[in-house]
Chains A and B, each alone.
Chain A
Amino acid sequence: MTSPPSAQAAAQAEAVVAVRDVHYAIGGRQIFAGLDLIVRRGRITAIMGPSGGGKTTLLKLITGQITPDRGSVQVFGQDVATLGRRDLYALRQRLGLLFQNGALLTDMDVFDNVAFPVREHSDLPETLIRKLVLTKLQAVGLRGAAHLAPAELSGGMARRVALARAIVMDPEVLMYDEPFVGLDPISLGVILRLIKQMNSALGITSIVVSHDVQELATIADESYLLLDGRVAAVGTPEQLRTSPSPAVHQFMTGGAEGPVAFNYPAPDYATQLLADSDE
């Protein structure tokens, strides 16, 4: 992948997140070994890869919860690892993250959950906060659920409330951590449409981390496939699907056999079964 210098410079200019040669290991396990990727402004970027492939770790690097062992993660042109606490918090106010489980605060109702970041970061009068929160809840179709406690919500509803909370401060970048896991078809369709709407209506740059290839293909402008701690393929969903690489092909078509091992390393199957029966 070589591009002319001017094109490269243009890509850098619109890069909201730039990950360069990132190495990261935890507990002796190498998660990233030279990861390079760019998220461009106003696009929906999909990060795909098998479970345990470091997708959520990438979000932690972008939000500064962890720092890379080597390489750099730049967000809005700032190296996240070098930021002090104050600057990091200022940066995080421009980001939104949708947690897989919603991560709603259980001691407040839906309304207060969505109002929480506004109350903490602004001195807006309560009447204005109310209007703001109701607008965001209406956007996710849950204005009527404002009085409910998080425990009374279904998984899909909790994720939509979390989405309303994530957009209430109008972030420039919105990250979704496995937004489609465990949803029924209706909730899934709603979340997909919401991600698209947030992006087109509000101009939010979106990073969607998931392994649901089919769903991502319908909304992503650009997709990265992470395998073995590196980017194995990058392009539009269509380009990835027609990739000649066996590993990419295996992931996109969901094959158990191929370069990506489905089975955890184990001794020979027959030998182990026979040995067990001898005991």
Chain B
Amino acid sequence: MSNHTRGNYLLEGLRRLGSVALFLLQLLAQSLPALTRPDLLLKQIYNAGARSLIIIMLSGLFVGMVLGLQGYDLLQRFGSEEALGIAAALGLLRELAPVITALLFAGRAGTALTSEIGLMRATDQLTAMEIMAVDPLRYVAAPRFLGGVIAMPLLTAIFSVIGLYGAQLVGVQLMGVDRGVFWSQTQGSVALHDVSEGMVKSLVFGVAISLIAVHEGYHAEPTAEGVGLATTRTVVASSVITLLLDYVLTAVFL
């Protein structure tokens, strides 16, 4: 790769970053008016949140069950399998629930957001709104962004609860860890800051993914190929950013 090409990539990357940052400011400016339209907002929370519920719950259950198996196997080597509850709860609350929910959210709700807005752009619906003197940033983009931001922590919380149930299912029902020990250890060791770490992470991931999804859709090339590319970019960018932010946030919290 020549220096010239590298320079172009760098410039393009910076241009994109600037464009996303500007878009975030515009969205935030429109978020207050969007909050005054609960009908629009509720619909988007339903679209991003309720419609992702099944996939989040199923994945939560399986991740929790795997955690139960692996955790039990590891802990019994040290004869401390009664600590399974703490291991599963802390792993889920602080790390697995926010990250896996975010990755699933990007694939399920993020892509839906990008392709929906991209198709609205391609079929002149956004332009039609502008001509009717209705700001599509306020009517289309801001409610979808806020809907995603609100839905993410809720989905993460549900993922954690179902995941913990899955770990208990395998650890207690299958492997024979004492039920009372499992829950009392969990209750005794999980502190509020563990829960808030996961919630803060999920909120940050929610902002990042919703921003990327809405931005990509809003600025998609108005063609079939353009919308397809934008959708792919949403998944790729959201996943990488989620993992990067996860490291940064974990480092901050520890």
- Residue numbers of A with Cβ under 8 A of B are 63, 65, 89-90, 92-93, 95, 97, 99, 101, 103-106, 116-117, 120-121, 165, 169
Report chain A residues within 8 Å CB of B131.
Answer: 63, 65, 92, 95, 97
| B185 on interface, CB distance cutoff 8 Å | no
| Complex contact A120–B128 (CB within 8 A) | no
Give the distance in Å from the alpha carbon of A90 to the alpha carbon of B135 in the complex: 12
| Complex contact B127–A103 (CB within 8 A) | yes
Give the distance in Å from the alpha carbon of A92 to the alpha carbon of B127 in the complex: 12
Of all A-B residue pairs in the complex, the 3 with the closest CB atoms, nearest first, are A103-B128, A103-B124, A89-B133
Give the contacting residue for B133; candidates A93, A99, A105; CB below 8 A: A93
| Residues from 136 to 184 in B contacting A, C-beta threshold 8 Å | 139
Give the distance in Å from the alpha carbon of A106 to the alpha carbon of B120 in the complex: 8
A-B contact count (CB 8 A): 48
| Complex contact B130–A65 (CB within 8 A) | yes
The winner among A63, A105, A117 for most chain B CB atoms within 10 A is A105
- A184 to chain B minimum Cβ distance, whole angstroms, is 22
- A210 to chain B minimum Cβ distance, whole angstroms, is 17
Report chain B residues within 8 Å CB of A97.
Answer: 128, 131
| Complex contact B132–A120 (CB within 8 A) | yes
Report chain A residues within 8 Å CB of B135.
Answer: 89
Q: Which residue of B lies closest to A59 (CB)?
A: B131
Report chain A residues within 8 Å CB of B139.
Answer: 120
Give the distance in Å from the alpha carbon of A89 to the alpha carbon of B139 in the complex: 14
| Complex contact A90–B133 (CB within 8 A) | yes
| Complex contact A65–B133 (CB within 8 A) | no
Report chain A residues within 8 Å CB of B130.
Answer: 65, 92
| Complex contact B123–A103 (CB within 8 A) | yes
If A90-B133, A120-B132, A120-B139 are given as contacts, then 15 extra A-B residue pairs at C-beta distance below 8 Å, sorted by A number, are A63-B131, A65-B127, A65-B130, A89-B135, A92-B130, A92-B131, A92-B133, A93-B133, A99-B124, A101-B123, A103-B127, A105-B128, A106-B119, A120-B133, A120-B134
